[in-house]
Structure 1
Amino acid sequence: MDRLEIAAILAYIGRLDPRTIRAEAGEARDQIAQWHDLLHDVPLATTHGWDVRAAIRAHILDSPYPILPVDVARTWRTYRRNRLDRHTDPTPAADPDDPAAWRAELLGTRQAVATGQTAPAVFRQIGRGDPRPDVEGSPRAIESCVPPAVRAELARYRPTRAAREATVAGGRPDTLSVDCVWCHARAGEPCRQRRLGPDGTTRSNAVRATPHPSRVDLAAAQPNQQQAA
């Protein structure tokens, strides 16, 4: 703000808080000079949310003390800091092989955001709304987050998963979707063949090629069998 704007602001403050009025000409000049020294880089208002009059009204309403120029300066610094915290630097249009031009454009964009001349760029913000038309139908087309071609390539590396998917595709219940009450294998894990020694200790714990019959019956009794994840 220049000196004329400072004088207008002091007159505005005087109407809201008469304690700040300086009746003598010398005191008024000193007051304008003091405020100008601290607020010469603070704009009167911007197009993106800053208005020094709003900051003054908020201080007068919240504080019993007369407003000082440092109060306005601190509010302006908070405004600048909050805007930069919400800003994501967009890629400059300058040639990346020209570091000076690249840096100058980057700093210029940040300065414009900090001073309220432009809105912060929030490219990383998660937006709301319907999905894009070219993306919405893709999950429905493949019915899985893994495309069929990729799923076929992975089948040889995960035979248990491939067998489960083939079972469900054939209309049969997914046996591994339930726990096994015989060997206590959890859902998603294959059954195991445990062999006990004469002393009662486990001597082998091999994976069974087929699930236990009790597990098959339990899976068949489960309603709404879904495809394996």
Structure 2
Amino acid sequence: MDRRETAALLAYIGRLDPRTIRTDQGEARDQLAQWHELLGDVPMATPHGWDARVTARQHIRISPYQILPADLARPWESYRRDRLARHSDPTPSADPDDQAAWTAELVGTRRAVAAGTVQPAQARAITTGRDGIDPRLEARLREVGSCIPPAARAALAPYRPARAAREMAVALGQPDALSVGCEWCKAQPGEPCRRRRIGPDNGVLSTAPRATPHPGRLHRATVQQAQQTAMA
């Protein structure tokens, strides 16, 4: 708040609590200078829930102690922290390749939220079911066939061999071994098989994922595929 707003706030407080009134001109000037120095970065009011007069009136109403600048500064800092805690940074509209503009927009939005001039941006809830899919995204997925582009899928293949082998088998019409559980390593459906390191006492020391499923699991998947084909 500027100096005139600080003076208006002191006049308002003086009407509610005469103990704050300074009749001497010099004392009044010093009081105004002190409050303005301490509350210069605290706004008188914001469009979204902050009003220094309401905070002052609340303090005078419930506290027997004379109000101090800290009794307004502390609630203001709590107000700022609460708003920032509820804010989820929206994606800036600036070009991501322009780091300076991207950062400036991000920081500017945070400052506006903290200052009370802009409402916090809430994170969108995760939706489930077909109703939560954007029609444009659904059309795009039908066009490309997958949310992962083919070039990216090929680049990722060396880093996830089990998934790559599964996709290759399905593309060739072979049974999907990961559609069933593995009786050997107890891997659940959808999880890759794991190989075991056995210690001298026949205890399992560690396990590591296998790029290929165990033969027994592949046999179960083949039988299941045959049964489904026969039923169809």
TM-score range, shorter chain: 0.5 to 0.7
Residues in 2 aligned to 1:126 and 1:157: alpha-carbon distance in whole angstroms: 29
- In 1: Cα distance, 2:60 partner to 2:130 partner: 52
Across the aligned residues of Structure 1 and Structure 2, the Cα RMSD in angstroms comes to 2.5
Which of 175, 180, 190 is 1:157 aligned to? 180
- 1:73 and 1:60 map into 2 onto residues whose CA distance is 15
1: CA distance, partners of 2:62 / 2:28: 25
**2:98 is matched by which residue type in structure 1?**
D
- Percentage of pairs with the same residue: 62
* 1:13-32 superposed matches below 5 A: 13-32=13-32
- Output the CA distance in 1 between the equivalents of 2:41 and 2:122: 26
| SS of aligned partner of 2:8 | helix
Alpha-carbon deviations, 1:42-100, whole Å to 9, x = none? 11101100000111011112211110112111111111011000000011111111111
Corresponding residue number in structure 2 for 1:104: 104
CA contact (8 A) 1:88 1:124 kept: no
- Uncovered stretches (5+) of structure 2, i.e. residues with no partner: 134-169, 184-232
Partner of residue 58, structure 1: 58
Gaps of 5+ in 1: 137-148, 161-229
Determine the structure 1 residue equivalent to 2:131: 134
Partner of 1:113: 113
- Give the superposition deviation at 1:135: 5.0
- Structure number with the higher helix fraction is 2
Question: 2: CA distance between counterparts of 1:62 and 1:125?
Answer: 39
Q: Secondary structure at the match of 1:78?
A: helix
Classify 1:3/1:159 alpha carbon distance in 2 versus 1 (closer, same or farther; 3 Å).
closer
In 1, distance between residues paired with 2:44 and 2:178? 67
Note the C-alpha offset of 1:11: 0.7
Partner SS, residue 14 of structure 1: helix
Whichever residue aligns with residue 87 of structure 1, its letter is H
Q: Does the CA-based 8 Å contact 1:22-1:28 persist in structure 2? A: yes
1:134 and 1:71 map into 2 onto residues whose CA distance is: 49
Structure 1 residues 101 and 22, CA gap change in structure 2 (3 angstroms): same
Offset of residue 134 of structure 1: 3.3
Whose radius of gyration is greater, 1 or 2?
1
The TM-score, its normalising length taken from structure 2, stands at: 0.56
Cα distance change, pair 156–113 in 1 and its aligned pair in 2 (3 A)? closer
Match of 2:199 in 1: none
Structure 2 Cα separation of the partners of residues 36 and 19 of structure 1: 19
- Could you state the TM-score of these two structures normalised by the residue count of structure 1? 0.57
TM-aligned CA distance change 1:126 to 1:86, over 3 Å: farther
1:157 partner amino acid: V
Aligned length: 143
Q: Where do residues 1-229 of structure 1 align in structure 2 (5 Å cutoff)? A: 1-124=1-124, 134-135=131-132, 157-158=180-181
